[in-house]
């Protein structure tokens, strides 16, 4: 169970590092959705089944609508991904390495 929570925590932090590098609004919204789901999984692993379910429904119900409209307004013909620019990819990798050393 400890390894399960550790794996969820690493994915949780990696999702927010991926969001903070901001290559494109589409990928940023995807990282927030994944991090929200993983955060609910962390709550579920500590025994808060009702709280995890309610947080998942409220988070995805409210935030997903906002990011859906934001992404629709900021769509790009050729969205920039994490691998399309050396600086963005370097920021993602450095952020993950720093986070691994801090944990």
Say which residues have a Cβ less than 8 Å from residue 65's Cβ, sequence separation at least 6: none
pLDDT tens digits for range 62-81: 877 777 777 777 766 766 66
> What is the 3-state composition of the chain as percent helix, strand, coil, each rounded to the nearest 5?
80, 0, 20
Average of per-residue pLDDT across 6-34: 80
Instruction: Give the separation between CA 92 and CA 70, rounded to whole angstroms.
Output: 23
Q: How sure is the predictor about 82, in pLDDT bands with cuts at 50, 70 and 90?
A: low
Please tell me whether the overall predicted TM-score, pTM, comes out greater than 0.95 for this model: no
As a whole number of angstroms, the distance between CA 63 and CA 84 comes to 27
Q: 40: closest CA among 27, 14, 58?
A: 58
């Amino acid at each position: 169970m400890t390894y399960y929570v550790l794996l969820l925590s690493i994915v949780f932090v990696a999702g927010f590092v991926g969001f903070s590098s901001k290559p494109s609004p589409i990928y940023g919204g995807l990282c927030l959705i994944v991090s929200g789901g993983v955060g609910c999984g962390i709550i579920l692993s500590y025994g808060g089944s009702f709280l995890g379910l309610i947080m998942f429904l409220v988070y995805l119900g409210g935030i997903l609508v906002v990011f859906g409209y934001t992404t629709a307004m900021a769509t790009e013909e050729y969205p920039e991904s994490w691998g399309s620019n050396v600086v963005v990819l370097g920021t993602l990798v450095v952020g993950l390495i720093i986070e691994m050393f801090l944990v």
